[in-house]
Amino acid sequence: MKTTIQTIQCKKNQEKITAITAYDSLFASLFDTQVDIILIGDSLNMSFGGKKDTLSITLEEMIYHTKAVCRGAKKSFIITDMPFGTYATPKTAVKNALKIYQKTNADAIKIEGGQQRCKTISSIVQEGIAVVAHIGLMPQFVRSEGGYKIKGKNDTEAKILLEDAMILQEAGACMIVLEGIRSDVAACISKNLHIPTIGIGSGLQCDGQILVWSDLFGFFQQFKPKFVRQYLNGAELIQEALQKYIFDIKSSQFPSMEESY
Ligand code: KIV
């Protein structure tokens, strides 16, 4: 049965919500039925596209990857990121969110930002589109903030984050991603909201957790953030297998008779 926003929301205070990113149909089909949520994160611009940040991805590229993921995943709840610059005003945001909903089977869209997104979120929700908010460390703000900054480090920041979360919930967000927020602050936000929080680098007390798939499976080797737990040595396994393949070709051991017509 398809996972809906109601299924996810019912899990709050009952069981942890599981989420992972995916950018293509193949991996989405491997994750589907196992995780509650698949996010087509704009992180794909970095881990898939090799770019230095998420800022340059286009709406068309997100739509392309979202369509691919939706073809592979029939059960999980699918969220897709609105790229940087595509929700600068409520009017643009509605136009672009409608485009995503019309062209893909995404169940919700995600946008970064605090209480300044209040009107944007309510305008999109009014059109019948589910919106996931994203606060704390917001990768789309990397240039304006001069780097990736952990949030909630002092009382003022903690107060603003809680206020942001409450206002975004009020505006109609169905879920909130809490990224790079001090654990006790994320715990307090999660406790005070009736909608679920999905944490990344924000401690154990969030209602669910998400990781970028290439970090989780050890395919991204340049940098491993503190909050990533690596469940597979993906890069090593691929490279070992590739070495064997190259060896077999060069030593004329591949293909065998059984592998030939
Ligand atoms: O782009 C992304 O993958 C994300 C997650 C890290 C939450 O926004």
Among 112, 140, 210, 223, say which to mutate for ligand 1: greatest number of ligand atoms within 8 Å of CB.
210
The values of phi and psi at residue 209, to 5°, are: -135, 145
Among 31, 179, 197, 206, say which to mutate for ligand 1: greatest number of ligand atoms within 8 Å of CB.
179
User: Is 106:84 a contact under the CB 8 Å cutoff?
Assistant: no
Chain centre to alpha carbon of residue 143? 20
Domains of the chain: 5-230 (3.20.20.60), 233-261 (no CATH)
- Identify the pLDDT of residue 72: 98
- Identify the pLDDT of residue 221: 81
Cα torsion for 104, 107, 112, 113, to the nearest 10°? 130
Distances (CA, A) of 215 to 36, 220, 243: 19, 6, 22
- Identify the pLDDT of residue 223: 81
What is the pTM (predicted TM-score) of this model?
0.97
Could you tell me the distance, in angstroms and rounded to a whole number, from the CA of residue 66 to the centre of ligand 1? 14
Query: Is 258 a residue of the active site?
Result: no
Residue with tokens 């169905």: 174
- Identify the pLDDT of residue 248: 98
pLDDT in tens, the chain (261 residues): 999 999 999 999 999 999 999 999 999 999 999 999 999 999 999 989 999 999 999 999 999 999 999 999 999 999 999 999 999 999 999 999 999 999 999 999 999 999 999 999 999 999 999 999 999 999 999 999 999 999 999 999 999 999 999 999 999 999 999 999 999 999 999 999 999 999 999 999 999 999 999 999 999 887 889 999 999 999 999 999 999 999 999 999 999 999 999
